[in-house]
Amino acid sequence: MSTITDVAALAGVSPSTASRALRGSGQISAATRARVEEAARELDYVANPSAVRLVNGRTDAIGLVVPFVTRWFFAQAVTGAEDVIRGADHDLLLYNLGGPDGRQRFFERMPLRNHVAGVLVLSLALSEKERAQLAQMRVPLVTVGHDAPGASSVMIDDRAAASTAVQHLLNLGHRRIGLIGGLPEDPMHFTSSALRARGYREALTAAGAPVDETLIVPSDYTIDGGRRAAVRLLALPTPPTAVFAMSDEMAIGAIDAARSMGVRVPEDLSIVGFDDHDLAAFFHLTTIRQPVQEEGREAARILLRMLSAPDEAETAHAVLDTELILRASTAPLRR
Amino acid sequence: MSTITDVAALAGVSPSTASRALRGSGQISAATRARVEEAARELDYVANPSAVRLVNGRTDAIGLVVPFVTRWFFAQAVTGAEDVIRGADHDLLLYNLGGPDGRQRFFERMPLRNHVAGVLVLSLALSEKERAQLAQMRVPLVTVGHDAPGASSVMIDDRAAASTAVQHLLNLGHRRIGLIGGLPEDPMHFTSSALRARGYREALTAAGAPVDETLIVPSDYTIDGGRRAAVRLLALPTPPTAVFAMSDEMAIGAIDAARSMGVRVPEDLSIVGFDDHDLAAFFHLTTIRQPVQEEGREAARILLRMLSAPDEAETAHAVLDTELILRASTAPLRR
DNA sequence: CTGTTAGCGCCTTCAG
DNA sequence: CTGAAGGCGCTAACAG
């Protein structure tokens, strides 16, 4: 691997001149610049990033923390963030927690410490202690789907979106509306679950409909979890006539459960999901669309902005729009 | 950010002693070591990785190149690789190509150059030029799902697996068997497509069944692509009685197409997929299971091994097992 | 067992 | 406009 000294030697200049020429800083005669560039090309020179970082006193890598890359939502957000970060020529260090154990290990060891210029955290509700750990790194922090003090955030209005979903069902005449949602003490703490649950309750209350706690079933954001939750709901003495699931995966599980129990969708049971997953259209699922890739992109943009203006200690908070997508999994209540 | 000099000062020793104590190298009295460790803890010291890399002359970051993190297969493989790499305390630089443009940009700029100790490439059939570019970085290279000269690889036996799938259909009495597969000139060049197509042809030929080119329909590994391909097959004057799809996504699309055309699965049409995607069981899909996460893990392991024994220029080649998973999307030919 | 010295590759003063 | 010198933080010899 050739160094800048090699380049300088080949070009017949000093290393500092070579450095200036290559980076376009200072005043350099066009002739020397050309010569240096030619030499660099010839030697296939690329600056050693460790040396550059050491002397500049900063890294340009960005840490991306994600619970599970395999889940649709996270993969989408990663794609958006990655694209923006690459476009700005930063490195992206991926950290996939992969469950409670990985999460604990991460926060214990803080492997990003001293490694990154900024951190992007996808959809983890940070405990106070975790937030403090992250803050201790003294680098800008942006979260997606969760709002932590001292950090910037990109969110959707989970509460309003959930209300909209439930309102849609209420408009169709439904009153007994089930909720399939995040686990109450989810080890991964997705805050959005709590917000969506709140929106659900508020919509019902505002419409004068009772909130029946037996219709609220926790689940784990997987198809199978949605299936189990739906089975429980449909086995109730007075089952709901409609269900709002906090993710499309769970909604799909619910559709499957209904089918296998001889309950027709939407004739006997209306179902609304959340996300507008790739498969939602396939299942004719009415759902709340959220712009997941854009959430990742926007978070990355905010982080880049924070990096370029480090003095301004301000945090930014973006709220992106959601939209109710009407498909064929919901229908008016039949009496 | 405190430096090792701060730690040394606080512990009342020289920086080199502090360094040795912290890294457990050389001979250090238990007393000094304890004092240094205490000082480091107090100052919350973490070595500056750029400085460490600069002096050691190497980075410990590993580059992971993936076409689309959002596709199930890649997300799974990334998860496996990430886990192993993290476990070995290496950084993981993610590079998501995201299509032909991103691919070209990547190979033009080679942003991993001088950044990484090794590279993991997921399921890209590398052109000779691309392979040369990668080789020019002079770091170990491991590919998953593709075999390139000079690189280690982790593969499955795509040809045999495809043969098995087709053989299963032949055993059920089918003779007209459609193939839904990779695009012939897929801009992302997935080699496995070609190998699976070969397996398909060989199985038919070995059984004395004719290979009808009109039954071979290219597609793009998406649900929708599978749907379109199936529609074309089913609209044929003499449609096939069975179909082998090169991915579960495409198989699912085919199931949907059949359903909407009034063709029953498996009574009128048997379908075999490939991958054992999370949704395969959901669709009762008979499929070829491949251990995707394990492919990622094994690739990472091989890379780590290459890094720890850089002298041995040998490449390793792992072939992992696949398995035919029988479900309800295939049935004997009805006459 | 510990301190001193030198240098990894680069960039940024500071002099010319 | 260009070169020399110094130092970023750390570790590997080399002396003690």
> Domain spans of chain B?
4-57, 59-155+292-320, 158-290
What are B155-179's pLDDT values in tens digits? 999 999 999 999 999 999 999 999 9
Task: State the pLDDT at residue B310.
Answer: 63
Task: State the pLDDT at residue A189.
Answer: 54
- Find the residue closest to D13 using CA and C1' atoms: B16
How large is the average pLDDT for residues B195-210? Answer: 95
Task: State the pLDDT at residue A287.
Answer: 98
Closest residue in B to A75 (Cα) is B70
Residues of B in Cβ contact (< 8 Å) with A95 = 82, 86, 92
Task: State the pLDDT at residue A30.
Answer: 87
- ∠A107-A111-A113 over CA atoms, to 5°? 95
- Annotation: CATH topology of B4-57: 434 Repressor (Amino-terminal Domain) (1.10.260)
Q: Which strand D bases fall within 7 angstroms of a protein CB? A: 1-5, 7-13
Contact assessment for residue B289 and residue B325, using Cβ atoms and an 8 Å cutoff:
yes
A6-15, A199-208, B183-192, B313-322, range with greatest mean pLDDT = A199-208
The spacing between the Cα labelled CA in B231 and the C1' in C10, in angstroms, equals 61
Task: State the pLDDT at residue B188.
Answer: 55
CATH 3.40.50.2300 fits A158-290, yes or no: yes
Contact assessment for residue B2 and residue B17, using Cβ atoms and an 8 Å cutoff:
no
Bridge partner list, A325: A287
Closest CA to B43 of B76, B10, B77: B10
Compute how many other C-beta atoms are within 10 angstroms of the C-beta atom of residue A328.
11
Task: State the pLDDT at residue B312.
Answer: 64
The low-confidence residues of chain A, meaning pLDDT below 50, are: none
Question: Residue A137 contacts by C-beta under 8 Å, 6 or more apart in sequence?
Answer: A110, A112, A113, A114, A116, A119
Bigger pLDDT: B190 vs A199:
A199
Region of poorest pLDDT, from A213-217, B294-298, B308-312: B308-312
Cβ contact B78–A64 (<8 Å): no
Task: State the pLDDT at residue A185.
Answer: 56
Q: Is the pLDDT of residue B318 over 90?
A: yes
Chain B touched by A59 (CB under 8 Å): yes
pLDDT band at B185 (very low <50, low <70, confident <90, very high): low
CA B9 to chain centre: 48
Closest CA to B135 of B155, B152, B122, B158: B152
d(CA A252, CA A283): 7
Task: State the pLDDT at residue A26.
Answer: 73
- Per the prediction, chain B carries an average pLDDT of 91
Matching fold, domains A4-57 and A158-290: no
How large is the average pLDDT for residues B211-226? Answer: 93
Q: Which CATH architecture has domain B59-155+292-320?
A: 3-Layer(aba) Sandwich (3.40)
Q: Is the pLDDT of residue B199 over 90?
A: yes
Distances (CA, A) of A119 to A111, A138, A310, B325: 12, 10, 14, 42
Task: State the pLDDT at residue B97.
Answer: 95
d(CA A161, CA B254): 34
What is the phi/psi pair of residue A120, to 5°?
-115, 120
Q: How many helices (H) and strands (E) does chain B have?
A: 12, 12
Is B270 (CB) below 7 Å from strand C? no
Record the pTM: 0.91
pLDDT band at B267 (very low <50, low <70, confident <90, very high): very high
Residues of B in Cβ contact (< 8 Å) with A220 = none
